[in-house]
Structure 1
Amino acid sequence: MQNQQLLDRAIGLAHPEVLKRATTARLVYALQPASVAFGRYTPKNDPHERPVAHLSGVNALTIDKFDGRWMLSAGADSSIAIWDLENPLWSNDSRTAFYQPLEAVTKSTEEHKLGITQLSFYPFDSLAFLSSSYDHTVKIYSSETLQPSASFDLDSVVYNIALSPIADHLLVACATQHPAVRLIDLRSGASTHSLAGHSGAILSTAWSPTREHILASGATDGSVRFWDIRRSVGELGSLDYEDSVGVMGLTVSGRPHVPGKAHRGPVNGVVWTEDGRHLVTCGHDERIRVWETDNGANTLANFGPMVRNSGLAPLVPVLAPVQMLPLDKDVMFYPNEHEVLVYEMFEGKLIRRLRRAEQKRAADSAPGKGQRNVRDRVTALAWRAHSVELLSAHVDGSIASWKPRTEEDAALDEEEADERDQAESSKKRKRGVLEDIYQDLTSKKITFGGL
């Protein structure tokens, strides 16, 4: 297939973009666990012991979208660390890349008092970032010093925060225990207003990537609602999983619509596609749904019976960059307890299941019938910009890296292994010959005659 694409490009039958997308898609489909570790490294580290980035578990993860170089992680103990993804250390065998935090802060009176729920870089400047916490606060930090510069008390648990990737209004949408979306204006440093309509706690919010005043939110009442923050009555409509035609009419104002339910249970994951034409939602009914945003229609994509979802913490899928994939072949990565499920988003087809070797062994032995293996549960995912690499945060305190490993890579690794085996065999033969000579010399009786 690849040779045919190269030939088509060479003779002018295919556009260069087609070959580029086919090549990068092949890499996206080939993600595997990488020999990368995050934590404090010493030469005495046990190679079989996984380093931890946060002792109490990793709750949140984010990577800057400018350079794809700086990564922030946060722990259940309110600790925060920043990592440089371009400067690893190497283990003694040069096979494992170790990353150590550039800076790290632990629990103190100035930082959060309880676990952090989410991190987010400023949309236009990676020198600052925001964090939300179970301690009811949202804080602004300097990325260079990891010192907080401002704090907002929302008087309820903050599950999720969202900043628009395109807008200049600098409003932070906050999902809290309160049944209204709270908006914080970073310019004035005040809470501007609330968006009322949900009847339960808000668990997830997300700004449109193409319309700067449009916001989506999911709540424990099972509803997903759209808002226009410029309107006095902000709600545009809500999604209904029984609606496969589209009667919500986002682009039509004043249309009566009976509020429906997007999921039969709390909604703790909401994410837009890059073009803003579709929305992906995840709920406690263990369903992932894909919606058309212009009319609210349920595309009826079926992701099968493997989806798991529980807990109020945000469970947000990651979408691979569309420029790396063929048209209308979007790929979604879903954090499914102890593994990452990779789907074709519009078809719901399961492409592969990403699990580390330790997880595979644990999955085979640990859970009994009717039980779930959550010892190494995935808590968050992040895609590294300008690269083909996925990062995952885990409840055991580790951070995992997933990089492409194609058939050619496997063949090269096998050749290198064969070469190492041959070199080792050669060394053993040489040692054997020397040992035989030594034994012959020591076994012979040597006598010394007189003069």
Structure 2
Amino acid sequence: MNELLFDRLTGTISPLEFATTLTESFYSILHQRAKTGVFPANCHKNAAVNSLSLETNDYQFLLSGCADSSIKLWDLKKQETQRKENEVDSSYIKTVSEYDDFDYDNPVETFSNVATIPRKSAHQFGISGLQWWPFDTGMFVTASFDHTVKIWDTNELTPVHSFDLDNRVYSIDICGQSSPNGLTSTALVAVGSDQPFIRLLDLRSTSSSHTLTGHKGKTLVVKWHPINPNLLTSGGLDGEVKIWDIRRSKSCLCRLDMLKTNTTQAISSDNLTKASVKAHSGPVNGLVWDESGMTLYTAGNDDKVRVWDMVSTLAPPVNKLVNFGPLTRNKYPQTIPMLLNPKGETELQYLLFPSESSDVFVYRTIDGKMVSRLSRRGSKNSGRTTSMASAGPFTGTYFCGTMDGEILIWSPHWDKPSVKGFLEQAEQTEHDLDLDPLQTYKENQEQLKLLEDDKFFNANS
């Protein structure tokens, strides 16, 4: 670390190279925060935190949606004091390994809860998804199992419009992108529901503008392409992942085929009709694009995570056969919140995958090697992770909502020596140090003189 700091000060490496190298090390030292900079214990009253969304303008305001239909708004730059540390806590700095359940269950300072939308006041059933409007914090969108999608005014904290879809909603994703010339923009919300089709809601006209039909069963997850506002991906209960172009009359471009594993395979003419074309052997409930839109990651109830090369060949894309090991457990047919770390903050990219247990696994995307296993601490340590959000690039910090109403924070942490141990070491060093070398020299000379006078040490006697 000292060498890295010296290289930065002398200009051997650029500030970006320094930040990238430092952030790369974060993913092997992620720990659960305990005492400060955390959320209040049991902040959602034992009800599952189904969705988290952090606005990306200032990375300050976090929305959390709960299974009891309540919604909370948190300010991550304000903290409230919950208790005063006792004498033992405040006398020295603890290392992470010394934290006990009391520290995790009784934080000192917690993030401020700016506002709360009580249960049953807006949605009648649990929140299944929520998301900030991409451009500012004045608006956000929520979806619920009560068949509705609502558009909210953040300043008033009231819904300004409600879409009634007549079906249970599992997943939403907002496409708010401008065209390259900046003259046109889209404001569409893709909705995955109980039905085998996808609804596109236009926020400008407040109407359902389009329906994409093709899945056989429920549509569990939908994701817009990060760059092209006309491309959409969906995963369904039928094990299929479909790529859609919403401009075409026949919107489905292709289906992902787990058997296509190299670029030399011939393009299948029956990709859209053949019944055996599957992305997973079970329902697909997880999708995430990398920020360049060149790679897609999918997760299914067959306990597999697959990586797809979306650009090297014509449709369909290629299964890159990356193996993420035997620990990925995924049996619940509901959206799973896997995440990629922000692109560019590290040399290698990392995938965070919440397993059925309370553990979150951190994998290298290039080869599927597990870098870290995040095991939950505290007296409530069995609830699985149901939602995740990144705190922003170069932070290495992630928020995880759990099945039992907690919001945990994982961040890099270096163990620091305690003040007590440092003082003891200093006292020992002082004891061993010769503080008066002149007096010591005189004493040594006197001892030598006594030895010279002793007949047993006198060579001439």
- RCO higher in structure (CA 8 A, sep ≥6): 2
Name structure 1 gaps, 5 residues minimum: 40-49, 363-374, 423-451
The total of aligned residue pairs comes to 388
Q: Secondary structure at the match of 1:85?
A: strand
The separation in 2 between residues aligned to 1:185 and 1:224, in whole angstroms, is 23
Q: In the superposition, relative to structure 1, how do residues 272 and 133 fare at CA in structure 2: closer, same or farther (>3 Å)? A: same
Note if contact 1:62-1:119 (Cα within 8 Å) is conserved in structure 2.
Answer: yes
Which string of whole-angstrom CA distances, capped at 9 and with x for unpartnered residues, describes residues 268-327 of structure 1?
11110011110011100000111111241111110111001122221021111122101x
Q: Secondary structure at the match of 2:20?
A: helix
Q: Secondary structure at the match of 1:332?
A: strand
Note if contact 1:63-1:69 (Cα within 8 Å) is conserved in structure 2.
Answer: yes
The separation in 2 between residues aligned to 1:313 and 1:210, in whole angstroms, is 26
User: Does 2:116 match 1:97?
Assistant: no
Q: In the superposition, relative to structure 1, how do residues 195 and 285 fare at CA in structure 2: closer, same or farther (>3 Å)? A: same
Q: In the superposition, relative to structure 1, how do residues 418 and 291 fare at CA in structure 2: closer, same or farther (>3 Å)? A: same
Shift in Å at residue 255 of structure 1?
5.8
Q: In the superposition, relative to structure 1, how do residues 421 and 132 fare at CA in structure 2: closer, same or farther (>3 Å)? A: farther
Residue in structure 2 matched with residue 257 of structure 1 by the alignment = 271
Larger gyration radius, structure 1 or structure 2: 2
Residue in structure 1 matched with residue 362 of structure 2 by the alignment = 342
Q: In the superposition, relative to structure 1, how do residues 115 and 233 fare at CA in structure 2: closer, same or farther (>3 Å)? A: same
Residue in structure 1 matched with residue 169 of structure 2 by the alignment = 158
Letter in 2 for 1:138: V
Residue in structure 1 matched with residue 332 of structure 2 by the alignment = 311
User: Does 2:108 match 1:87?
Assistant: no
In the TM superposition, what are the counterparts of 1:194-213 in structure 2 within 5 Å?
194-213=211-230
Shift in Å at residue 57 of structure 1?
2.5
User: Does 2:378 match 1:391?
Assistant: no
In the TM superposition, what are the counterparts of 1:263-412 in structure 2 within 5 Å?
263-294=280-311, 295=313, 296-326=317-347, 329-337=348-356, 338-358=358-378, 375-386=382-393, 387-406=395-414, 410=415, 412=416
Shift in Å at residue 7 of structure 1?
6.4
Letter in 2 for 1:60: S
What is the alpha-carbon root mean square deviation over aligned residues?
Answer: 2.6
Q: Secondary structure at the match of 1:29?
A: coil
The separation in 2 between residues aligned to 1:343 and 1:87, in whole angstroms, is 32
Q: Percent identity?
A: 34
In the TM superposition, what are the counterparts of 1:130-169 in structure 2 within 5 Å?
130-164=141-175, 166-167=177-178, 168-169=185-186
Residue in structure 1 matched with residue 33 of structure 2 by the alignment = 34
Shift in Å at residue 355 of structure 1?
1.6
The separation in 2 between residues aligned to 1:137 and 1:123, in whole angstroms, is 21
Runs of 4+ displaced beyond 4 Å:
2-16, 246-249, 419-422
Q: In the superposition, relative to structure 1, how do residues 416 and 313 fare at CA in structure 2: closer, same or farther (>3 Å)? A: farther
Shift in Å at residue 107 of structure 1?
2.4
The separation in 1 between residues aligned to 2:238 and 2:28, in whole angstroms, is 36
Shift in Å at residue 247 of structure 1?
7.9
Note if contact 1:278-1:292 (Cα within 8 Å) is conserved in structure 2.
Answer: yes
Shift in Å at residue 12 of structure 1?
6.6
Judge which range, 385-394 or 95-104, deviates more: 95-104
The separation in 2 between residues aligned to 1:247 and 1:233, in whole angstroms, is 27
Judge which range, 57-66 or 88-97, deviates more: 88-97
The separation in 2 between residues aligned to 1:146 and 1:119, in whole angstroms, is 14
Q: Secondary structure at the match of 2:400?
A: strand
